Amino acid sequence: MKALAARRHDRRAPAVLLLLALLLTGALYAVLAPTSADAAPAAPSADQVETGEKLFQANCATCHGPDATGTDAVPSLVGVGAAAVDFQVGTGRMPMQMNGPQAQAKPAQFDEEQIAALAAFVASLGPGPAVPSDEQVDPALGDPANGMALFRTNCAMCHNAVGAGGALSQGKFAPNLWETTPAHLYEAMATGPQNMPVFNDATLTPDEKRDIIAYLDLQGEDAPGGIGLGSLGPVSEGLWAWVVGMGLLIAAAVWIGARSS
């Protein structure tokens, strides 16, 4: 003990202790901290709500107001539910980077715990759609064929036939859906962010939402026919026909037409 006591005042001790403490906290956090997906079913703790409120006052209240009731230009957050917060903050759309036709997605500004806290706080203001469970958004459990039919009837007119995105009026747009996580897809349907209509459980049942997620899970740049050309339809095909096809053929014509010397 004496030897240990003698070494206690090593000048490196505080740094080592701090490092150990950080590691321990990190490890505990990794074990105990809930992920955003399974955070939702668990009732948010009062602690979480309190943290969320602090985050809200510091980052969101400037526009949405200290009581989150919004203004004429900014929506009230009472009753939007945890799902709306998880989508808007989780995709980086909120806090909004700049005013414009619509909020743009960007790398998320908060970590999962903070987002969960914010969501808990906003959910505590009034009842609204909750963050879906992992099972609710698992593409493997959905029926892509039914999802295709539902997507074509409800989504494709803005998001393009396979979710490649499309234009709306006045600079607004429906984004590409290929990189969106299943949970965010579900939340978008449930809460109707930006210019999107709300597809509540009466319009699209949770199972149908999962079918749509299953359909979108099959889409992307990989096309059976080769390079997908953005899945944008005949305009990009026409552009490539001129650039690649006519470009190569005219180059070949110039080569053949050149007088041999």
Grouping H, G, I as helix, E, B as strand and the rest as coil, residue 84 is helix
* Binding track, positions 146-165, relative to another protein; x by CB under 8 A: -xxx--xx--xxxxxxx-xx
Considering only residues 78, 96, 168, 196, which one is a binding residue for another protein as defined by CB under 8 A? 168
Given the complex with another protein, which of 110 and 240 has the nearer CB atom? 240
Site for another protein in 197-216 (CB under 8 A): 215
Given the complex with another protein, which of 131 and 162 has the nearer CB atom? 162
Residue 233 engages another protein in binding (rule: CB under 8 A): yes
* Alpha-helix runs per DSSP H in 65-166: 81-90, 112-125, 144-154, 156-159
Considering only residues 17, 21, 22, 249, which one is a binding residue for another protein as defined by CB under 8 A? 249
Identify the CA nearest to 161 among candidates 239, 102, 230, 87.
230
Compute the least distance from the CB of residue 228 to another protein, in Å. 5
Site for another protein in 97-126 (CB under 8 A): 101
Compute the least distance from the CB of residue 225 to another protein, in Å. 4
Considering only residues 173, 178, 181, 206, which one is a binding residue for another protein as defined by CB under 8 A? 173
User: What string of DSSP letters covers 11-39?
Assistant: TTHHHHHHHHHHHHHHHHHHHHSPPHHHH
Q: How far apart are the first and last CA of the chain?
A: 97
Residue 141 engages another protein in binding (rule: CB under 8 A): no
CB 192 within 8 A of CB 198: yes
Site for another protein in 44-83 (CB under 8 A): none
Residue 252 engages another protein in binding (rule: CB under 8 A): yes
Cα torsion at 109, 115, 121, 122 (round to 10°)?
A: 80
Residue 248, H or E segment: helix 247-257
